[in-house]
Amino acid sequence: MDLRAIILFSFLLFSTVQGLMFELQPNGRKCLREEVQKDVLVTGEYEVSEVPGQRTDVKVTDIKGHTLVSHEDKSKGKFAFTTDDYEVYEICFMSKVPPNLRGQKHEVEVTVKMGLEAKNYETLGEAARLKPLEVELKRLEDLSEAIVQDFAYMRQREEEMRDTNESTNSRVLYFSVFSMLCLIALATWQLKSLHCLFLKIELVMDSNGVHANSWTGKLVFTEFDHRGSVCIRSEWTHSCLRTDLLMEEICGDNNITVVRFYKECVIPATNVLAHHAFVVFKTESRWKYSLEKNKTCIALQRSKCLNDILHATCGGFADTHERTGKGSIGKVVHFLWRNNCLGELYNPLRSNCTQFALRIFKAFSFHQSDALPIFVNDSSDDDPDHYEC
């Protein structure tokens, strides 16, 4: 019983019968498409309802456009062909109505058989004078061959799919390696560009995070005469900031009236990353002082002309924020001594010119509504009113 069930299932699997009925519109065209394997017998039988004055054509073609069967003006007929390759085959019914007639619908009934079902074993048995048992054995033999051929076809398709998967995997691997190489090259180029940028703005640090052998820890004082030339230049270390000579030479009684915060872009394309900042004081004695921190020292400059210290400091346009000042230049120097500013090595990230300028700007100006963001401690040690020269 099990053997008969397997044979019946295999017969239904490897033989196909399609029968359907549909309506064909006047001057219309309707096609049936089916994928058929190679070397498969296909037979068909059709019947079209007759309408006076109208004709119906039947044509069977493959996907390449080759005509296998062509019947013109037939209302009933049969066709048969054997496939040459695995592809899509098309059976088309076309209605043609003369221009002077009013067309009517055709009813089309078609039956298509493929594989073992297309063979007429009764006719083969009569032609070969075979007994009914021999005819059935012939049918089973053909069914077995069809099963073997189908398994061979599935094995071939499996090999093709495996080759396709292996090829796809290798291409994905090569593409992944190529992408990684591109990312590594891009990262290398970015690092090189950033290194060149830091070299250009002089922000390359040594292993300790500061400029190698560049920070002197001195306060450099420069005075310009009325012609804009340097007339006085002096240097002091941290221990000399409280001497009377320094106070008499540069401080005096210069009370601060206005404080300005200047910030200039070092490289136009890097306004956020690379800029330089400093502070300018205006005093009651009409002296203008600039105070900045650079990679080597803290520079204090003064002149009667504001442009002299601006050109000496930045040399270009700078963003400016102004407030009313408080304290004196002497208190500024005392602030540098009290907070050991000369002992703080220049660091582009933790102790740069912007942080230093903002700290001085806040300590020696009155707070207003246009206050800048300050990144220093708000302790009373930064208040110049607590220091006396």
If you average pLDDT over every residue of the chain, what do you get?
78
Which has more confidence, 372 or 353? 353
Chain segment 300-337, per-residue pLDDT in tens: 998 888 888 887 555 455 567 889 998 888 888 888 88
Q: Is residue 113 situated within a structural domain?
A: yes
Q: Is residue 340 situated within a structural domain?
A: yes
Chain segment 241-270, per-residue pLDDT in tens: 766 555 555 666 678 899 999 887 665 555
Give the N- to C-terminal CA distance of the chain in Å, as an integer: 118
Q: Judging by DSSP bridges, how do beta strands 106-115 and 41-48 pair with one another?
A: antiparallel
Which has more confidence, 354 or 313? 354
Chain segment 277-303, per-residue pLDDT in tens: 899 999 988 889 999 988 888 999 988
> By residue range, what is the domain housing residue 317?
219-386
Mean pLDDT along residues 23-43: 87
For the entire predicted model, the pTM comes to: 0.45
Chain segment 104-145, per-residue pLDDT in tens: 888 999 988 887 776 777 777 777 777 778 877 877 887 888
Is a pLDDT exceeding 60 seen at residue 184?
A: yes
What does each C-alpha distance from 167 to 9, 172, 181 come to in angstroms?
37, 9, 21
Q: Is residue 181 situated within a structural domain?
A: no
Candidates 52, 55, 64; CA nearest to 93 is 55
Q: How confident is the model at residue 360 (pLDDT cuts 50, 70, 90)?
A: very high
Mean pLDDT along residues 347-363: 83
Chain segment 135-176, per-residue pLDDT in tens: 778 778 878 887 888 888 889 889 999 999 999 999 999 999
Q: Is residue 150 situated within a structural domain?
A: no
Chain segment 212-246, per-residue pLDDT in tens: 457 888 888 888 888 878 888 888 887 777 665 55
Mean pLDDT along residues 196-225: 67
Provide DSSP, 135-149: HHHHHHHHHHHHHHH
Q: What is the structure's pLDDT at 274?
A: 63
Q: Is residue 204 situated within a structural domain?
A: no
CATH of the domain at 44: 2.60.120.380
Q: What is the structure's pLDDT at 373?
A: 42
Is a pLDDT exceeding 60 seen at residue 348?
A: yes
Do 238 and 366 sit in the same domain of this protein? yes
Which has more confidence, 100 or 6? 100
Q: What is the structure's pLDDT at 381?
A: 39
Is a pLDDT exceeding 80 seen at residue 94?
A: yes
Domain boundary among 77, 94, 119: 119
Domain boundary among 119, 140, 170: 119
Query: With pLDDT > 90 as the criterion, what percentage of the chain qualifies?
Result: 16
Residues 6+ apart with CB under 8 A from 205: 211, 212, 347, 348
Do 108 and 239 sit in the same domain of this protein? no
Q: Judging by DSSP bridges, how do beta strands 256-265 and 275-283 pair with one another?
A: antiparallel
Q: What is the structure's pLDDT at 388?
A: 31
Do 228 and 377 sit in the same domain of this protein? yes
Residues 6+ apart with CB under 8 A from 304: 226, 286, 287, 288
Q: How many domains does the chain have?
A: 2
Residues 6+ apart with CB under 8 A from 175: none
What does each C-alpha distance from 378 to 232, 278, 353, 375 come to in angstroms?
35, 20, 19, 9
Q: How confident is the model at residue 371 (pLDDT cuts 50, 70, 90)?
A: very low
Do 231 and 363 sit in the same domain of this protein? yes
Q: What is the structure's pLDDT at 247?
A: 57
Handedness of CA 139, 145, 148, 150 (dihedral sign): negative
Q: Residue type at 216?
A: T
Do 109 and 254 sit in the same domain of this protein? no
Do 89 and 236 sit in the same domain of this protein? no
Mean pLDDT along residues 270-278: 66
Q: What is the structure's pLDDT at 158?
A: 93
Two tokens at 268? 């136009």
Q: Is residue 40 situated within a structural domain?
A: yes
CB 260 within 8 A of CB 329: no
Q: What is the structure's pLDDT at 242?
A: 66
Q: Is residue 54 situated within a structural domain?
A: yes
Q: Is residue 207 situated within a structural domain?
A: no
Domain boundary among 104, 119, 134: 119
